[in-house]
Each structure stands twice: as structure tokens, then as C-alpha cells.
């Protein structure tokens, strides 16, 4: 995922996932992309947070999967 419009691309991906799934249960992200998301969103209300020992993003638990492409993010 390029740096230009990074936040907008992540936000659009998350909204698309919420729209296409009736009951989303998690967000799967490559660890390098999740690091970039943490850095880019850290000063916003949309920033990932730790709740009960689990990292949450948009209210969903984050699953980091290094086997995926470096720009992989999906709501599942």
C-alpha cells in the first residue's frame, strides 16, 4: 500500500469489509502493514488499541499474518 492516501485506503478497506460481511469477527493484517497503521493512526481516534490483552482495530481483534503479502489487510 503506497503512502499517498494511506489512511484513506485503510479506512476504505475496513468500511468495505464491514459492508460486505454481516458479522465480521477479525481483521487480518501483515505485521509490516500493521506497524505502518499504528504509526499513521497513532494520533487519531481510529488508532489500534489494546483491550484485555488483544489488539483491536475498528472494534475487531487484529490477527497478524506474516504469510500474507506486505500490503495485505482483510476483514473476516
Cell of 35: 506497524
The pLDDT of residue 1 is 64
Rounded to two decimals, the pTM is 0.90
Q: Which residue has the cell 487519531?
A: 44
pLDDT tens, the chain, 76 aa long: 667 799 999 999 999 999 999 999 999 999 999 999 999 999 999 999 999 999 999 999 999 999 999 999 999 9
User: Shortest CA distance to 1 belongs to which of 25, 37, 49?
Assistant: 37
The pLDDT of residue 14 is 96
Measuring CA to CA, how many Å separate 73 from each of 47, 48, 52?
Answer: 15, 14, 23
The pLDDT of residue 4 is 75
Amino acid at each position: 500500500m503506497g503512502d499517498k492516501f494511506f489512511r484513506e485506503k485503510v479506512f476504505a478497506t475496513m468500511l468495505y469489509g464491514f459492508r460486505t460481511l454481516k458479522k465480521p469477527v477479525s481483521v487480518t493484517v501483515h505485521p509490516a502493514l500493521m506497524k505502518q497503521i499504528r504509526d499513521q493512526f497513532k494520533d487519531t481516534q481510529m488508532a489500534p488499541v489494546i483491550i484485555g490483552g488483544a489488539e483491536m482495530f475498528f472494534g475487531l481483534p487484529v490477527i497478524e499474518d506474516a504469510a500474507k503479502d506486505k500490503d495485505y489487510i482483510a476483514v473476516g
